Chain A
Amino acid sequence: EDQVTQSPEALRLQEGESSSLNCSYTVSGLRGLFWYRQDPGKGPEFLFTLYSAGEEKEKERLKATLTKKESFLHITAPKPEDSATYLCAVRGNSGNTPLVFGKGTRLSVIA
Chain B
Amino acid sequence: DVKVTQSSRYLVKRTGEKVFLECVQDMDHENMFWYRQDPGLGLRLIYFSYDVKMKEKGDIPEGYSVSREKKERFSLILESASTNQTSMYLCASSLEAGYIQYFGAGTRLSVL
Contact = CB atoms under 8 A, between A and B. Distances in A.
Contacts of A98: 31, 33, 45, 48, 58, 97-98, 101
Contact of B98 (A41, A87, A99): A99
Q: Which 7 residue pairs spanning A and B have beta carbons closest together?
A: A43-B103, A103-B42, A91-B98, A96-B97, A101-B43, A44-B103, A43-B106
A101 B42 contact: yes
A34 B100 contact: yes
Interface residues on chain B, size class = 20 to 34
Contacts of B33: 98
19 contacts: A31-B98, A34-B100, A34-B101, A42-B106, A43-B104, A43-B105, A43-B106, A44-B103, A46-B100, A46-B101, A89-B101, A91-B99, A96-B96, A98-B31, A98-B45, A98-B97, A98-B101, A103-B41, A104-B42
Interface of A: 31-32, 34, 36, 41-46, 49, 87, 89, 91-92, 96-99, 101-104
Contact of B90 (A43, A46, A99, A102): A43
Determine the main DSSP class of A at the interface with B.
loop
A7 to B, nearest CB: 13
A45 B4 CA distance: 11
A92 B99 CA distance: 10
Contacts, number: 54
Nearest to A93: B98
Given A41-B108, A101-B42, A32 B97 contact: no
B59 to A, nearest CB: 10
A103 B39 CA distance: 9
B110 to A, nearest CB: 14
Given A31-B98, A32-B99, A103-B40, A96 B105 contact: no
Given A96-B97, A99-B101, 11 more contacts: A32-B99, A34-B100, A43-B90, A43-B104, A44-B43, A44-B103, A45-B103, A92-B98, A96-B50, A96-B98, A103-B40
